Chain A
């Protein structure tokens, strides 16, 4: 029962970040602003969803796998953000 309340709360917070990230991705005016919205907000959302599911997990292995999912998604987002941010710079300003 308590686990269910925790799950619903955490996943709901996660959904908020997904919606916020998507709204930013659609509404922000240029590539770099949009990059902020998607690589930060949605991974925070995924983190809360993962934690919400962890509260229902049936074994230690599942918990480990779930946390690894989040860790890998964070690494991917960090790499993507760096690479695309550099790509989207005007040619003269590339480091």
Chain B
């Protein structure tokens, strides 16, 4: 056994321990804290599996958004004693059934000898991106990514629909009270500019190396959320036309390039000559829309009258 194997085995054991602790822990808050650790361990595992693109997505979402979301949710569910909600055998059965069914489906899948890797590799020169993952997401299987972007937008509309009549159209979340010259206020002004640069860098580098619109967009969403929590900026009112244009821009530009694809023969068919600039343009706009959508999803429904 090499040291590399020892590293992988210990990593797997830690992941299983963290997962068991999250499910079995008696304290709800403890489960949330352990879930943050679990996400970090999974990120390292994806790197070990050679899937750095997935690791970037897991790292950005796990460290930047789910932690904040779940900590806020746990605080709202808090009954003072810190106990988790009562045990529901029906929910347990349903979850176990779904997990078992999925596991069975994966195990019983036919195993193609080489998968789609040779096909992707063969067509990579005309894809407009050197990173095979980006080529698949934005070109070969652009449909899926377009649908994912639309699903995010629909989810946000669903969250907004929960707002009561009097605060519809107002700003999301509550007014944040933070000392302007305090530690949090200073951090909230220092970090977002750096995060914005890192996010755009991840989108830019995504055409040739691990990165892309989802990873970069999530980083921008996280630092925007930080600026809001630190009271540096306010989320725009949900009735704002500019906000709605920003949210729509990504899916809309993606759809427009898809329709333009008819010029090259079919919906979403990119002319290899324009594929690279098209993919980069779609990714940049999509990243900004994803950033705004994710951040507003975490802040929640409008709570303040307009």
Contact = CB atoms under 8 A, between A and B. Distances in A.
Nearest to A82: B183
B187 interface: yes
B194 A79 contact: no
B184 A83 contact: yes
A83 B190 contact: no
B191 interface: yes
A83 B71 CA distance: 16
Interface in B269-295: none
A72 B184 contact: no
A38 B184 CA distance: 20
Contacts of A72: 194
Interface string B194-215: 1000000000000000000000
**In which size bucket is the chain B interface?**
under 10
Contacts of B183: 79, 82-83
A83 B184 CA distance: 8
Interface string A4-42: 000000000000000000000000000000000000000
Q: Among the interface residues B183, B190, B191, B194, which one has the most CB atoms of the partner chain A within 10 A?
A: B183
Nearest to B194: A72
Contacts of B184: 79, 83
Interface in A62-79: 72, 75, 79
A42 to B, nearest CB: 14
Interface of B: 183-184, 187, 190-191, 194
A73 to B, nearest CB: 12
Contacts of A82: 183
A83 B178 CA distance: 12
B188 to A, nearest CB: 10
Contacts of A79: 183-184, 187
Nearest to B183: A82
Q: Among the interface residues B187, B190, B191, B194, which one has the most CB atoms of the partner chain A within 10 A?
A: B187
A75 B187 CA distance: 8
B255 to A, nearest CB: 36
Going nearest first, the 6 A-B pairs with the smallest beta carbon separation are A82-B183, A79-B187, A79-B183, A83-B183, A83-B184, A75-B190
Interface in A49-94: 72, 75, 79, 82-83
A75 B193 CA distance: 14
Contacts of B190: 75
A75 B194 CA distance: 12
Nearest to B184: A83
Nearest to A86: B183
B34 to A, nearest CB: 16
Given A75-B190, A75-B191, 6 more contacts: A72-B194, A75-B187, A79-B184, A79-B187, A82-B183, A83-B183
10 contacts: A72-B194, A75-B187, A75-B190, A75-B191, A79-B183, A79-B184, A79-B187, A82-B183, A83-B183, A83-B184
Contacts of A75: 187, 190-191
A69 B76 CA distance: 34
A43 B157 CA distance: 42
